[in-house]
Amino acid sequence: MFHKYSKMDLVNIFIKSAFIENLVLSYFLGMCSYLAVSKTVKTAFGLGLAVIFVLGITIPINWLITTFLLSETGVFGHDFTFLRLILFIAVIASMVQLVEMVIEKFSPALYNSLGIFLPLITVNCAILGGSLFTVTREYTFGESVAFGLGGGFGWFLAIIAIAAIREKIRYSNIPAPLRGLGIAFIITGLMGIAFMSLLGIDPAAF
Amino acid sequence: MAETAVQEPKLKTQEPLFGTKERKLLIDPLNENNPITVQVLGICSALAVTSLVYPSVVMAIAVIFVLAFSNLFTSLLRKSIPKQVRMIVQLVIIASLVTVVELTLKAVNFEVYKQLSVFIGLIITNCIIMGRLEAFAMANRPWRSFLDGIGNGLGYGAILIVVALFRELFGKGSLFAGSSLEMKIIGPSTEYWLNSTNGWLSWYQNNNLMVLSGAAMFIIGIIIWIHRSWNPKLVDVS
């Protein structure tokens, strides 16, 4: 489990999850908060940081739960996978709460800048999606840590990029019905295609 | 039966089970209050499944089921849920229903279950569901909440299926691939319906862009554009 050697090393997984299989741009995960909180770069930056943080923590924890509590080789010796969704969402909700309290205690400045975004992350599909992906892709512990951080970083990049673009186009002459949401969708589509060009850096392709 | 004979006099006039208000709950989410194009909820978990029509239909049915019943149960429990823990209670209701859907689909149609992979589980974090529970089911009676759930699920499913129709027809040339209704419409070989008579469409190539994730974005952007020019009330003024 901890010692399984994998062909892909951890850096590759990080790069892959951040750029090539970006959670927002190729899996549409976390779209709701991505569209709702990308009006200015400053708020997007806060939410992006919070997502990296929570993804980096919850994905390894959910990996531990799947491996040691829910699987047949785990502590209870029975297959409890039907409880997976409920446990994952409970872990995410409580981790978000915990992270919020810890940050408030140790770094009030960061807490103030993240503030309202932390509770929003509970229903950010990127977190639950990331946790479920580690199960379906059968990652090891180290890989799931790399995947969590990489996925969070990719999410962060995507939301900063769209926020910067939306700030720039605010005064552009866009057809009224397309203004706001419509154009944000089309820009996201173009960004997705742009990110696809990074497919060339996929180490598995060589 | 002596008990039925002594009926209490009804003080309140009985509201019709399916009146104009109820019809409005079902129709509104299809147009003026569409969860995807107007409320911008629930885009997260579903767009990735729209590259084929059949999984999208399954996904839409799953969301309608979960939305309707989580609305119903939350509405039944709404007076006994404490304010502070209501999020957790709602999440548990949703997660249990999603588990039911996931296990049922796994048993009934394993192929589609594999295609949808994590996205069935992601119905839990579908913002439409939490949004409707908070905005509607916590304040309304069970029957109306149930209808509201079905209405919003239909509005969501309609967009999902429209996007999937475009993506599958132009990306793969077929419709309903993977189901028993499979139709091959347009493509270079003669097994496709439009090309079957004398092969006049042999030059045709499917548009691979439609299979990529970006295409779903473009199509939804365009749907929003058309919807808002048709209904100028919805234009974003900010």
Comparing B170 with B126, the larger pLDDT belongs to B170
Average confidence (pLDDT) over B199-219: 81
Flag whether residue B104 sits within 8 Å of chain A, measured between CB atoms.
no
Flag whether residue A110 sits within 8 Å of chain B, measured between CB atoms.
no
Q: Rounded distance, CA A192 to CA A22, Å?
A: 9
Average confidence (pLDDT) over B185-209: 77
Average confidence (pLDDT) over A192-203: 77
Flag whether residue B96 sits within 8 Å of chain A, measured between CB atoms.
yes
Cβ–Cβ below 8 Å for A123 and B125: yes
Cβ–Cβ below 8 Å for B125 and A127: yes
Q: Which of A22, A28, A195 to mutate to test the interface with B (most CBs of B within 10 A)?
A: A28
Q: Rounded distance, CA B215 to CA A28, Å?
A: 12
- Count Cα neighbours of B6 within 13 Å in the Cβ-side half-sphere: 2
Comparing B95 with A205, the larger pLDDT belongs to B95
Q: What pLDDT, on a 0 to 100 scale, did the predictor assign at position A116?
A: 65
Q: What pLDDT, on a 0 to 100 scale, did the predictor assign at position B61?
A: 92
Helix (H, G, I), strand (E, B) or coil at B174: strand
If contacts are CB pairs under 8 Å, which of residues 19-38 in chain A contact chain B? 25-32, 35-36
Comparing A55 with B197, the larger pLDDT belongs to A55
Listed in sequence order, the residues at least 6 apart from A137 whose beta carbon sits closer than 8 Å to its beta carbon are: none
Taking 90 as the threshold, does the pLDDT of residue B139 lie above it? no
If contacts are CB pairs under 8 Å, which of residues 121-160 in chain B contact chain A? 121-122, 124-127, 130
Burial of B76 (C-beta count, 10 Å sphere; 0-12/13-18/19+): middle
Q: Which of A34, A22, A20 is nearest to A166 (CA)?
A: A34
User: What mean pLDDT is reported for chain B?
Assistant: 81
Q: What pLDDT, on a 0 to 100 scale, did the predictor assign at position A4?
A: 55
Flag whether residue A90 sits within 8 Å of chain B, measured between CB atoms.
yes
Q: Both tokens of residue B81?
A: 């849920």
Q: For residue range B146-158, list pLDDT tens digits in order.
A: 988 899 888 888 8
Q: For residue range B1-21, list pLDDT tens digits in order.
A: 444 455 555 555 566 677 777
Q: Rounded distance, CA B114 to CA A136, Å?
A: 10
B9: DSSP letter: P
Taking 80 as the threshold, does the pLDDT of residue A187 lie above it? yes
Cβ–Cβ below 8 Å for B96 and A82: no
Which of A123, A127, A181 lies closest to B130 in CB terms? A123
Q: What pLDDT, on a 0 to 100 scale, did the predictor assign at position A148?
A: 92
Collect all residues of chain B within an 8 Å Cβ-Cβ radius of residue A193. 209, 212, 214
Q: What pLDDT, on a 0 to 100 scale, did the predictor assign at position B2?
A: 46
Q: For residue range A62-85, list pLDDT tens digits in order.
A: 999 888 888 877 777 777 878 888
Average confidence (pLDDT) over A186-201: 84
Q: For residue range A96-151, list pLDDT tens digits in order.
A: 888 788 878 887 877 776 666 677 777 778 888 888 888 888 888 888 999 999 99
Average confidence (pLDDT) over B73-95: 84
Taking 80 as the threshold, does the pLDDT of residue B94 lie above it? yes
User: 10 Å Cβ neighbour count for A203?
Assistant: 14
User: By the 8 A CB rule, do A188 and B216 touch?
Assistant: no
A3: DSSP letter: S
Q: For residue range B29-81, list pLDDT tens digits in order.
A: 777 777 777 777 777 766 778 888 888 999 999 999 999 999 999 999 888 88
Which of B41, B222, B229 lies closest to A32 in CB terms? B41
Cβ–Cβ below 8 Å for B40 and A188: no
Taking 80 as the threshold, does the pLDDT of residue A203 lie above it? no
Q: Where are the beta strands (DSSP E) in B70-182?
A: 174-175
Q: Both tokens of residue A171?
A: 């005064």
Can you give the C-alpha Rg of chain A in angstroms? 18
Q: What pLDDT, on a 0 to 100 scale, did the predictor assign at position B115?
A: 82
B236: left (phi over 0), alpha (psi -120 to 50) or beta: beta
Flag whether residue B199 sits within 8 Å of chain A, measured between CB atoms.
no
Q: Both tokens of residue B156?
A: 């969501």
pTM of the model: 0.81
The share of chain A scoring above pLDDT 70, in percent, equals: 91
Residues in a beta bridge with B183: B175
